[in-house]
A and B are shown apart, each in its own frame.
Chain A
Amino acid sequence: MHNYRYTLKTLFKNRMMIFWTFAFPIILGTLFHLAFSNLEESEQLNTMPIAIVDNMEFQSNEALVSAFTAMSDETSEDPLFTIQYVDEEKAKALLKDEEIIGYVFVDASTHVMIKNNGVEQTVFKLICEEIIQSNEMINTMIEEKMAQVGNMHITDPTAMIEQIKQDVMERMQEETSYLNDTSSEHMSYVVIEFYTLIAMACLYGGMLGMFAVNCKLANMSHHGKRVAVSPTAKGKLIFTSVLAGYTAQLVGIALLFAFLVGVLHIDFGDNLPLITLLALVGSFAGLTIGIAIATLVKSNENMKAGIFIALTMLGCFLSGMMGVTMKYVVDTNLPFVNRINPAGLITDGFYALYYYETLDRYTMDMIALLLFSFVMIFISMFQLRRQRYDSI
């Protein structure tokens, strides 16, 4: 308790720590709000004009036809797309003249073509990507079911195939309808910026852990030498220091949330307990990065802080902090990067909570974050367990 109390006191009185972990995310949040509030008003997601190359391949893909039909239903209050069914040449021409934001072209696989990088284009690509993935999943399901049917003794195979088709199409309808619903109610791409901001705040909190641990390691700081010769067990000191770092980190996150929701009125949806849980796990991941840098990088505190900030900034950039398009580009071209990037995982977790009705993706992100944290701890343990050093 003694070490916990004083470590906490030290952290809260450290101006650099306070700035980076408490003040900086709030300042950045305010800037985002100022920068994006007008933008959001002027660029509310209106119905997006797109084209579909109306060929045999498209027509024979019932799932795609069904999904796009559902999302361009003119009878609904706020359809996502107005669709022109044209040939490929016409689609290219429409795109060139910017009469549409993009078009879908199906051959052996499904292609999404856009001309510019913009918010609508990004949203269009994200949605198409989602439909394509679901479509592929459904195709796989059909193939599996058909294989099962082939192995079974069925009295009426035609009825069975029809039933499978029916099931699958219902699934497809569900997928598109929730996309339709959530987009029309909440869709605010600006919120993604705030997700990355929270992700950044969670990770920046790791600096507190880094500072708290750094001054308990004899090979890293003069304070550490002094602490190491005391009769208090190293494990106990490290644990209470990490706990103090985590406590301070959570205070910072709580302040940020209070500011975003209470002052900037950012709508994070209805899943507050799950959002909190993700922030807790995200902060823990940040903390473990801080511990790993504290134990592995043999340099002064400023250098460590610099490395930490650079790494987390890079993570946030790749997860879409400086533009949502980056998230899409990384997810599409280098998907593994955001599967090991804690900022990407936190952002994606919030995104999943916001846009999906099921918790599958959210759970996967949580598991990946926990795995990442345990890997960081495992790496750090090699250094933390050492009692005597080769040099100090």
Chain B
Amino acid sequence: MEPVIEVKNLTKEYKKLKAVNDLSFEVQKGEILGLLGPNGSGKSTTINCILSLLKFSKGSIRIFGQEMKPNAYDIKRKIGVVFQEVAVFDELSVYDNIDYFCGLYVKDKKQRRQYIEDAIQLVGLEDFKKFLPKQLSGGLLRRLNIACGIAHKPSLIFLDEPTVAVDPQSRNNILDGIKTLRDQGATIVYTTHYMEEVELLCDRVIIIDKGQILASGTNDELKALANMEEKVTIETKHLRKEQFDYLQSLPNVLEATYQAHQLVIVYRQGNHNLSHLMEYFKQEQIQYDRMYSQRPTLNDVFLKLTGKELRD
């Protein structure tokens, strides 16, 4: 099956800086592709190149099997974009803002009316139709931003960090809305630096840093790259050196650190590690405040690949 988006060897240079460096990837119909990377990694630049907003130095971009150009209106008609920055008119009501942007895609007024109602319902702004943007909270404003980008029912949607600076309630609402769009058959490209969102939403993930793809695959495929199974953290002030050395020498332990009264043990395999630890601490009568276990996250993958945290 032909991919919805096909990016080949995309390179974007700003003078001597390569913001995007020889990027190639595909997006299949109906999937949610996550572009994960820290701020400044080249995610938004990639999106802007795909949308023909930015000139690029090398490479080719095809959408729905056709070359993407600024005047490729047939392609643009099927695309919805939610940019990182809120772009609504302060002078227009919630309803009018959605109507304005939707009207750039859909000429039929009756159809548009229905689409607007659907979009308002999707983002949960039913009670705010006549409100002006300045009367909305930050979270509601983000929801309006999304509604303006997807009201025309596009089959390909770009969401560029749509949940930045959003309260938890609005974030959940936004993520639920995105799932709904996916269920309705839309193909989605989702850029973020929140790994939790990627893990929750995306079928496939591309990890980007400094304009290059570091890794790509499903969540499980990527986590396998971290070469770890479980991470246990114990908060204690009473660990002696010989006890730490003993724990570090256990057969499944990949790595152990003890800093700032926090012991972190990373295991290769994950069978009963936590219960064994609890048993040892009881036996040695070591007091501790909290002990918890975590599965590997994409942040661990990023750490493994780049040596730095995703949000550094």
> Which A residues lie at the B interface, using CB under 8 A?
2-3, 6, 9-10, 13-14, 215, 218, 221-223, 225-234, 387-392
Contacts and interface: CB of A to CB of B under 8 A. Distances in A.
A389 B55 contact: yes
A233 B53 contact: no
Interface residues of B, number: 33
Contacts of B48: 392
B104 A3 contact: yes
B23 interface: no
Contacts of B54: 388-392
Given A222-B87, A226-B87, A231 B92 contact: no
B134 to A, nearest CB: 12
B31 interface: no
Contact of B51 (A215, A223, A229, A231): A229
A95 to B, nearest CB: 59
A229 B89 contact: no
A10 B81 contact: no
Contact of A387 (B52, B81, B85, B92): B52
Contacts of B81: 226, 229
B52 A388 contact: yes
B149 interface: yes
Interface string B140-183: 00000000110000000000000000000000000000000000
A228 B148 contact: no
B53 A228 contact: yes
B79 A229 contact: yes
B55 A390 contact: yes
Contacts of A2: 100, 103-104, 107
A329 B89 CA distance: 45
Contact of A6 (B51, B73, B88, B92): B92
Nearest to A230: B104
Given A222-B86, A231-B73, A231-B77, A9 B91 contact: yes
Query: Helix, strand, loop or mixed for chain B's interface?
Result: loop
A221 B87 contact: yes
Given A13-B92, A230-B104, A388 B55 contact: yes
Contact of A226 (B52, B71, B101): B101
Contacts of B148: 226
27 contacts: A2-B104, A2-B107, A6-B103, A9-B92, A10-B89, A13-B92, A215-B89, A221-B87, A222-B87, A223-B87, A225-B83, A225-B87, A226-B81, A228-B53, A229-B53, A229-B81, A230-B76, A230-B105, A231-B73, A231-B76, A231-B77, A388-B70, A389-B53, A389-B54, A390-B55, A391-B54, A392-B54
Nearest to B152: A230
A389 B52 CA distance: 9
B92 A10 contact: yes
**A-B residue pairs, 8 tightest by C-beta:** A387-B70, A13-B91, A222-B87, A230-B104, A231-B73, A231-B76, A222-B85, A231-B77
A388 B50 CA distance: 11
B56 to A, nearest CB: 8
Nearest to B86: A222
B92 A222 contact: no
B104 A227 contact: yes
B14 interface: yes
Interface centre among B73, B86, B103 (most CB of A within 10 A): B103
Contact of B83 (A6, A222, A390, A391): A222
A6 B107 CA distance: 14
B105 to A, nearest CB: 6
Contacts of B104: 2-3, 227, 230-232
Nearest to A2: B103
B96 interface: yes
Contacts of A10: 89, 91-92
Nearest to B70: A387
Contacts of A388: 52-55, 70
B85 A230 contact: no
A55 B42 CA distance: 84
